[in-house]
Amino acid sequence: VLIALVYLGKYLEAKSKHRTSDAIAKLIQLTPETSTLIVGYTHKVIPSDEIEPADIILIRPGERIPIDGLVVHGSSTIDESMLTGESLPVDKKLDDKVYGGTLNQSGVLHIKAQETGEHTVLARIIKMVGQAQGSKPPIASLADRISLYFVPTVMTIAMLTGLSWYFIGGVEFSMALRFFIAVLVIACPCAMGLATPTSIMVGTGRGAQLGVLVKNAEALQTAEKTSVVVFDKTGTLTRGEPKVHAFINYHHSLSDEEILGLAASLEQSSEHPLAEAIVKYSKKRNCALRESTSFSLLEGAGIEGTVDRRSVLIGNERLLERQKIILPKSLGNLDSSDEFGKTSLYVVIDSELAGSVSISDTLKENAPENVRRLKDLGLKVVMLTGDHPDTARAIARQAGIDHVIARVLPEEKQNRIIELQKEGMVAMVGDGINDAPALAQADVGIAMGSGTEIAMESGDIVLMSGNIEGVPTALSLSRAVMKNIRQNLFWAFGYNVVGIPIAAGLLYIFGGPTLSPMLAGAAMALSSVSVVTNALRLRLFNG
């Protein structure tokens, strides 16, 4: 009976532990086993793992996409909730990017494969979740150290218990043996060993379902202690889709179209979001764009180059200061745009101020709500940006952020994080290449999944949806997981602290009952199952 109870407990424990890895199993099942390859005018069904880059794959309504690629024919809506946590479907048309594991809902699509197999976003997510589930937070070292000495300690206690009852307590040998076996059976190092990894497995799996990818367990423990959250502005708090609001011509002879054409010709070589806005605006106004014969980045100030044998510079006030160009007082109204959250860029042609461009970027709709959620968690929220102070303060007011650090050069962001770390643990949220050093310096780096590859590699936590709703969700998840781990450890330690003395006959000394080995086995099995069951509650976490 004793052996049967122990094996029953092990079976229940194994079944419960299997449920902790459901998240990875569900992710793996998202990739279809077969796919339809388009070869000329014919269709051929092949195993999905045989798809190669540049293959054209047919995706019908209701089918899952097997690879990452581009839409080359058709349009549809795609359910990306399994990757990003976003419940609303996403419209896809020609040249749009689609991802493996997502569900085609309406139209027929032809997709050109780009990343296949282990190189897809889904495969990388599965790998990342697996690595996180296999990692250990610092708190696990306590349980590991105790478990190391647990077995020899229990063996010693069991031996002393049996010998004491036989030689000192004067009981029969069978009774002493009963106490000895009860101590061995009830002692449960399994519960302590399961306390941390089960919570980590369920927590990181649930995070993946919500679009929050945690790279390692240590990040969860650190995130729980975070007291300051720092946001980059462009692309993080704002949509990252700036548009030209206004253009002012200061040149004595060049027309608007000529100035914009020269500026856009130079900006074509830049990858900055503001550059794209100027190029789009210039094309909209039918400006002639030419090739720039030289291009260089002026760190923290702007860009310079040569277009059509003219020297062209575009940048902020730092650029004017470096070029020793004084902004006339009559142009003072330009800066007022900064007070309304618009960014002012100046165009200098042949060392002469030629014009200014006012660019605005829209705040993400749910930014104020999620900043409030962070404040409700007792966190200090800071905006860190290289933008003009007035622009930064205007955006911060809209978002509900009280602390603003503006006009910070990319290389200075890391130093500002170091200063903030004097106040406590810092989480940095960013999406650009210039955010990578700050993400790495912060105690917890949170990268937006819509950002650059470098930013995502630098982050400890990746938000797949690119939505800042994931920031309070990630920090709340860390608190929930760490609370769950502490509950498990408390139960595991408490069970052994109370159970072993009872099994050793503590109650019997005062005229109470003894604990039979059979009941001890049942209690041992229950302790392990209860720890795993408690961890499984994290599957209900919703942020």
pLDDT, tens digit, 9 for 90 and up, residues 527-536: 888 888 899 9
* Residue that terminates a domain, selected from 336, 360, 384: 360
Q: Is residue 41 included in any domain, yes or no?
A: yes
Q: Is residue 268 included in any domain, yes or no?
A: yes
Q: How far apart are CA 336 and CA 284, in angstroms?
A: 25
Q: Is residue 418 included in any domain, yes or no?
A: no
The amino acid that residue 506 corresponds to is: L
Nearest to 357 by CA among 409, 306, 316, 301: 316
Token representation of residue 284: 């909209």
Q: How far apart are CA 365 and CA 237, in angstroms?
A: 9
Q: How far apart are CA 173 and CA 163, in angstroms?
A: 9
In order along its 543 residues, the chain shows pLDDT tens digits of 445 544 555 555 565 555 555 556 666 677 889 999 999 889 999 999 999 999 999 999 989 999 999 999 999 999 887 666 566 788 899 999 998 888 998 889 999 999 998 888 888 777 766 766 566 667 777 667 777 788 889 899 999 999 999 999 889 999 999 999 999 988 877 777 788 888 888 898 898 888 888 888 888 899 999 999 999 888 889 887 888 988 999 988 999 999 999 999 999 988 777 888 999 999 999 999 998 888 898 877 889 999 989 999 999 888 888 888 877 665 544 445 555 567 889 999 999 999 999 988 888 889 999 999 999 999 999 999 888 888 889 899 999 999 999 988 777 888 999 999 999 999 999 876 567 788 888 999 998 875 445 445 667 888 887 788 999 999 999 999 999 999 998 998 888 889 999 999 999 998 889 888 888 888 888 888 888 889 999 999 987
Chain-centroid distance, C-alpha 406: 25
Chain-centroid distance, C-alpha 223: 11
Instruction: Domain of residue 103: give its range.
Output: 27-125
Nearest to 12 by CA among 496, 539, 533, 538: 533
CATH (domain of 307): 3.40.1110.10
Q: How far apart are CA 119 and CA 227, in angstroms?
A: 36
Phi, psi of 518 (to 5 degrees): -65, -45
Q: Under 8 Å CB-to-CB from 227, ≥6 apart: which residues? A: 378, 379, 380, 423, 424, 425, 426
* Residue that terminates a domain, selected from 108, 125, 142: 125
Q: Is residue 472 included in any domain, yes or no?
A: no
Q: Is residue 214 included in any domain, yes or no?
A: no
Q: How far apart are CA 290 and CA 307, in angstroms?
A: 7
Chain-centroid distance, C-alpha 288: 42
Token representation of residue 528: 């392990």
Total number of domains in the chain: 2
Residues classed as catalytic: 232
Entry pTM:
0.74
Q: Is residue 102 included in any domain, yes or no?
A: yes
* Residue that terminates a domain, selected from 314, 342, 360: 360
CATH (domain of 44): 2.70.150.10
Q: Is residue 279 included in any domain, yes or no?
A: yes
Q: Is residue 172 included in any domain, yes or no?
A: no
Q: Residue length, the chain?
A: 543
